[in-house]
Amino acid sequence: MSQILGHIVIKRSQTGIGRARARHASSTPLPVLQQPFRYITSLALTCPDPKPSSIHKHSPTPSSAFCSRHSCTLGKILLRPLLRTAATTNQALALSRSFASLSAPRLQPRPTATTRLSVAAFSTSAANMSSQDNSKKDGSADWSNKDGHFRRQESSFRTSIEKGGKHEPEVGRYHLVVALACPWAHRSLIVRKLKGIDRVPDLLPVHVVDSLLGSEGWSFVPYEEPKGYGVPGTGNKIPGHEDKKRIRELYKAADPNYEQRCTVPIIWDNKLNTIVNNESSEVIRNLNYAFDDFVPEEFRGVTYYPEDLAKDIDAFHEWVYPTINNGVYKCGFATLQDAYESNVKPLFESLDRVEKMLEDGRTYLYADKLTEADIRLFTTIIRFDPVYFTHFKCNYRTIRDGYPKINKWMQNLYWNNPAFKDTTDFDSIKAHYFQSHTNINPHRIVPEGPVPHILPLEK
Ligand SMILES: N[C@@H](CCC(=O)N[C@@H](CS)C(=O)NCC(=O)O)C(=O)O
């Protein structure tokens, strides 16, 4: 039986070699052709027998790392043989042109005599793949644009839990979905605890996904392949959604047309069956007040974004987000030397700047008060020595050896405040980064160090 596996977008890379990108078959009916392993002008890619073994037989030469990085459920499909044998360059370019409308304008191929069409790997389960330039369908994906720079997508669900609004504060209605590895999700776990939300049963239960970001994105149940990787999540299900294996299914339930990456954290509204918000910076602000009617007295009215410091905090994020929080990703996911170099320097300049801010020995970044500035910076800094220094090549210096003030600030938060320590899981963090990004770490070896992951506080 033939099955439509998806569509192909041909992307011309800098080298002039096109890269085919696949979009998962949508609900739009497309003609199924009976020719195995051909892509054809109807723009559907068909496979006569979608069993991994037979697919692999037809794609024995994963000549690009791109293909071997993918571990899709139905196997890896290498399109190169297909492009070589079944299609002429002109056909391929016609195909790519037809798909250009799905892609960012810069993906439009410029046909030239020397254009060669190359390899694509295709996950049949890549329903969340976006046509955006930097989005890909699995955790091990090629995260960068063709200029070699990583660009994070805009979050899509941007509402909040508030009285009189669409999402009324209630017990038993909302769920927080996180990956312990994720610095953005980590922020929300910290604030949930700091605000005492964790003290009230069913107020905002946490659902932790597996550490492995696999071919279908974050997962509530371990991936069957690759075997043996990842630190399992909590496995607790959202009532009514017990059948959901991946967070992508929640995104699709919230918005059947959702085509972006399916990121954590998510606040899920189980009454309206939708996502309240998937942007951590907004989630943590919302948690400052969302549940104040339900949390114990001592937590009511407590905010980590105090009005008198709002301006300073905003100004701080202005440079810390692009150069540090997201800066480490821009270094790690850069695919060109220039792109890497142009991000690693600003990262360390910003760390120097934070070090200077903390020079006077202050405990917190602003006004001797714990604020979201500390929270947002902490989740990046705590991952720095164990992961970013090596995995993302942020290696001018470590925090412990190169930034004594930042190190002390981080140690204090971690060792003296359970909201920071109890939400930090080094095993998940390391397993996630080193095992999911096989474009960076193809053998998935998780380094042992640093030993210890964080230094003890000096007596
Ligand atoms: N802007 C978002 C970013 C969240 C984000 O990118 N999370 C990553 C994990 S660190 C994710 O879920 N990635 C899944 C994917 O890209 O498939 C936020 O701050 O909430």
Distance CA 262, CA 246 (A): 9
Instruction: Write the CB contacts of 205 (distance below 8 Å, at least 6 apart in sequence).
Output: 175, 176, 236
pLDDT at 328 over 70: yes
Q: So what's the pLDDT on residue 66?
A: 26
pLDDT at 351 over 70: yes
Q: Which of 47, 67, 72, 182 is catalytic?
A: 182
Indicate the pLDDT class of residue 101, thresholds 50, 70 and 90. Answer: very low
- The protein residue with its alpha carbon nearest to ligand 1, atom 1, reads 279
pTM flag (> 0.95): no
Q: Which pair of tokens denotes residue 133?
A: 């330039």
State the chain's mean pLDDT as an integer: 76
Neighbours of 116 (CB within 10 A): 14
- The protein residue with its alpha carbon nearest to ligand 1, atom 13, reads 263
- The protein residue with its alpha carbon nearest to ligand 1, atom 2, reads 279
Ligand 1 pocket test target in 135, 138, 142, 184 with most atoms within 8 Å of CB: 184
How far apart are the CA of 248 and the centre of ligand 1, in A? 12
How far apart are the CA of 458 and the centre of ligand 1, in A? 35
Q: So what's the pLDDT on residue 147?
A: 78
Instruction: For residue range 131-164, list pLDDT tens digits in order.
Output: 233 333 334 355 667 677 888 777 889 999 999 9
| Residue 124 to residues 52, 101, 112, Cα–Cα distance (Å) | 11, 21, 31
Instruction: Write the CB contacts of 69 (distance below 8 Å, at least 6 apart in sequence).
Output: 121, 138, 140, 141, 142, 438, 439, 442
Instruction: For residue range 64-95, list pLDDT tens digits in order.
Output: 222 222 222 222 232 333 333 333 344 444 44
Q: Of 276, 275, 305, 272, which Cα lies nearest the Cα of 289? A: 305
List residues near ligand 1 (CB under 6 A).
152, 155, 182, 184, 213, 217, 261-265, 278-281
Instruction: For residue range 107-122, list pLDDT tens digits in order.
Output: 223 232 222 222 222 2
Indicate the pLDDT class of residue 5, thresholds 50, 70 and 90. Answer: very low
Q: So what's the pLDDT on residue 432?
A: 98
pLDDT at 130 over 80: no
Domains within the chain, CATH numbers bracketed: 3-117 (no CATH), 174-299 (3.40.30.10), 307-436 (1.20.1050.10)
pLDDT at 428 over 50: yes
Q: Identify whether 394 is a catalytic site residue.
A: no
- The protein residue with its alpha carbon nearest to ligand 1, atom 6, reads 263
**Lowest mean per-residue pLDDT among 148-152, 220-224, 281-285, 310-314:** 148-152
Q: So what's the pLDDT on residue 457?
A: 93
Q: So what's the pLDDT on residue 293?
A: 98
